[in-house]
Amino acid sequence: METSELLKKVRHIEIKTRGLSRNIFAGQYHSAFKGRGMAFSEVREYQYGDDVRDIDWNVTARHNKPYIKVFEEERELTVMLLVDVSASRNFGAVGEMKKSIMTEIAATLAFSAIQNNDKIGVIFFSDRIEKFIPPKKGRKHILYIIRELIDFQPESKGTDLSLVLEYMTNAIKKRCTAFLISDFITNDNFKNALSIANRKHDMVGIQVYDKRETVLPDVGLIKMCDAERNVENWVDSSSQKVRKAYSAWWNDRQGRMLDYMRKSRVDVASVSTDEDYVIALMNLFKRRS
């Protein structure tokens, strides 16, 4: 992409997403993620209404009466964006392309983090770790992230969620809030990696999909392409059996993904390319507040 065109796109994304994070998400982001980064402060005697999960059993045993751990909110969090840059993001039959929606969501979260005085970092991934941007603060850092979101060219086409989850778990030592932004078109090998990552960090899943991926239209013989494997097949979409099988495939895959998230205790939001992602993010934040 030419430099002038790229700068125009960066500026457009900055104006839109900074405005969203400042005007719409003001307070929502902080209330959704406050308390996720907590530092131990002291112990005190248990009082009626305290959370029993905060009881310090060692101190309680020594004093023969219950004591609880008191935590204080850390002044800043580290936020990581795990952004899927596989070939399947370059699709958009209904509404925007998935890549465009992913870019805007990531930029909005980045500006929300900066306004909350948090550090923000990014891992671009396909079926390999494509690029790691360490967490930092500042507008210059944010604009660099946006430029990369718009113009980054991955080396590979596939997707491996377990790889990026394992990489983040090892690379980020301090507990962080991590947004996994993907269409989740991948194999089913990421369940264990997701559970492990969420035990160390605060994981959040954001799925971006196109409605044309969910239902096969009745338009006769069509060529379908698997962008990640570079495989093409002709499909008879006029066949009711074929359309039912396709819908069953999507529903089964979507159900397994949501089940993995639920069992790993990871909050998730699903956003269609023709929907307002602001509403989905607001609902996600409200669920966590």
pLDDT in tens, 205-255: 999 998 888 777 777 877 776 656 667 778 777 788 888 888 888 888 889
How far apart, in whole angstroms, are the C-alpha atoms of residue 113 and residue 2? Answer: 29
pLDDT digits (tens, 9 = 90+) for 37-72: 555 567 888 888 777 888 889 889 989 999 887 765
Q: Please state whether beta strands 177-182 and 129-136 pair in parallel, antiparallel, or not at all (unpaired).
A: unpaired
Q: Are residues 188 and 92 in the same domain?
A: yes
Q: Are residues 201 and 69 in the same domain?
A: no
Which percentage of the chain shows pLDDT scores above 90? 30
Domain count for the chain, please give it: 2
Distance of CA 237 to the CA centre of its chain: 33
Distance of CA 3 to the CA centre of its chain: 28
H helix intervals, the chain: 3-19, 28-33, 57-63, 98-115, 139-151, 161-171, 191-200, 240-263, 277-288
pLDDT of residue 2: 59
73 pLDDT exceeds 60? no
Between the ranges 68-72, 95-99, 107-111, where is the mean pLDDT highest? 107-111
Measured between its terminal Cα atoms, the distance across the chain in Å is: 40
Q: Which of 73, 96, 126 is the last residue of a domain?
A: 73
36 pLDDT exceeds 60? no
Place of tokens 């900066």: 114
Q: Are residues 165 and 56 in the same domain?
A: no
Instruction: In the chain, count H helices and then E strands.
Output: 9, 10
Average pLDDT, the chain: 83
pLDDT of residue 41: 61
CB 67 within 8 A of CB 60: yes
Range of 59's domain?
38-73
How far apart, in whole angstroms, are the C-alpha atoms of residue 188 and residue 178? Answer: 20
Q: Are residues 69 and 80 in the same domain?
A: no
pLDDT of residue 148: 92
Q: Is 212 helix (H, G, I), strand (E, B) or coil?
A: helix
Q: Are residues 44 and 134 in the same domain?
A: no
pLDDT band at residue 18 under the 50/70/90 scheme: confident
Q: From the CB of residue 124, how many other CB atoms can be counted at a distance below 10 Å?
A: 20
Name the nearest CA neighbour of 286 among 28, 23, 20, 24: 28
Q: Are residues 275 and 209 in the same domain?
A: yes
Most distant pair of Cα atoms in the chain: their distance: 77
32 pLDDT exceeds 80? no
Q: Are residues 58 and 192 in the same domain?
A: no
Selected residue with higher pLDDT from 289 and 183: 183
Q: How far is CA 179 from CA 129, 158, 281, in A?
A: 16, 20, 12
Place of tokens 């980064």: 37
Q: Are residues 49 and 162 in the same domain?
A: no
Q: Are residues 172 and 265 in the same domain?
A: yes
Q: Are residues 123 and 209 in the same domain?
A: yes
Q: Are residues 60 and 134 in the same domain?
A: no
pLDDT band at residue 203 under the 50/70/90 scheme: very high
pLDDT of residue 150: 87
Q: Are residues 47 and 115 in the same domain?
A: no
Selected residue with higher pLDDT from 196 and 241: 196
